[in-house]
Amino acid sequence: MMLELKNLKKSYGNKEALKPLNLQLSSGIYGLLGPNGAGKSTFMKLISMLLEPSGGEILFDGKDIRVLKKDFLKVLGYMPQQTCLYPEFGVLEYLYYIGALKGMERKVLFGAAEELLEKVRLSNVKNQKIKTLSGGMQQRLMLAQALLNQPKMVILDEPTAGLDPKKRIEMRNLIAEYARDRIIIIATHVVSDVELIANKILMLDHGSLVAENTAWELTEQLNGRVFEMELNVPLEKLEARYKVSSVCHRKGNIYAKVIVGEEEKQPENGKEVYPDLEDVYLCYFGGEE
């Protein structure tokens, strides 16, 4: 199974939302990271055929998805950032409705809906109206509708938006469980959501793919450049010299984690720490949104 993007691009007038992009995705989880305006939404909408490209092609197992059309949509699952739920529908009723739109056979649909509700831990509320569900339950239902037709390709746009830490972990684990023999693309601003489960990280900036590596390879690039130090000067002064990744309170003291330039020396009183993907994000994008 392979999704291939060949010289794919999208322009709006003179503005290039996505510059010529060449990429091959096989089975696995791909974390799509980048600041607002980086081209993430355009990237996902082109793959899901919500937008027509200005040039290039998208191939699924060697065939153009615009030629495959409905045959490609049958193997695609999509979870949008904005809810597509109907508050007055019952939970199980909603999945039946979505399955009918996907053209699933009734017998297959009924079994798949019940199985998925069990997997996402919503079986006990399957007869409740959607409007009675908590935000976390609604997010899990959105994931269920994306997986309903056993898609080979799944696009998840901010799947943990608005969830508390525990629910984020639950959602992350559910996604990882369904990643076998599927291509899953997760667009998110919560870097930790993809750091642990993504096979590769795709980083977009101003419409260009600036990195395509594993999380480990990306963090290794910053090895020896991330330090933790006690904050004993105004934060503004520290930010004027370094990229400050985080500030935390510990044992009555305040500590800052900073990223130094490639040619800069270790900060005075700085203790080297191993970088994480948030440090990488800051290094690439400078925290700009």
CA distance 144 to 271: 45
Helix (H) or strand (E) holding 107: helix 106-119
The whole-number pLDDT of residue 287 equals: 52
Rounded CA separation 188/38 (Å):
12
- Per-domain residue ranges of the chain: 3-219, 224-273
pLDDT at 266: 85
Q: What is the pLDDT of residue 142?
A: 93
Is residue 9 a contact partner of residue 20, using CB atoms and an 8 Å limit? Answer: yes
Is CATH 3.30.70.2860 what the domain over 3-219 is classified as, yes or no?
Answer: no
Strands 200-205 and 28-33: parallel
Predicted local distance difference test score (pLDDT) of residue 81? 80
pLDDT in tens, the chain (289 residues): 899 999 999 999 989 999 999 999 999 999 999 998 899 999 999 999 999 999 999 999 999 999 999 999 999 999 988 778 999 999 999 999 999 998 899 999 999 999 999 988 899 999 999 999 988 889 899 999 999 999 999 999 988 877 888 888 888 888 888 888 899 999 988 898 899 899 999 999 999 999 999 999 999 999 999 999 998 888 898 888 899 999 999 888 899 999 998 888 888 888 999 999 999 999 888 755 4
CB-based contacts of 86: which residues, under 8 Å, 6+ apart? 94, 97, 130
In whole angstroms, give the CA distance from residue 178 to residue 92.
20
Instruction: Determine the Cα–Cα distance for residues 266 and 247; give it in Å rounded to an integer.
Output: 18
pLDDT of residue 200: 95
Are the C-beta atoms of 198 and 27 separated by less than 8 Å?
no
Strands 271-272, 226-230: parallel, antiparallel or unpaired by DSSP? Answer: antiparallel
Reported in sequence order, the residue ranges of 26-175 that DSSP labels E, i.e. its strands, are 28-33, 55-60, 63-64, 76-79, 153-157
Q: Which amino acid is at 282?
A: L
The string of DSSP letters for 267-283 reads PTT-EE----HHHHHHH
Q: Are 75 and 151 in contact (CB under 8 A)?
A: yes
Q: Determine the pLDDT at residue 234.
A: 87
Residue 67 phi/psi, 5-degree rounding, is -85, -40
Spatial separation of the C-alpha atoms in residues 282 and 262, rounded to whole Å? 15
Question: Which among 172, 189, 199 is positioned nearest to 282, based on CA atoms?
Answer: 189
- Evaluate if pTM is beyond 0.85: yes
- What is the per-residue pLDDT for 286? 77
Question: Which residues make beta-bridge pairs with 3?
Answer: 25, 60
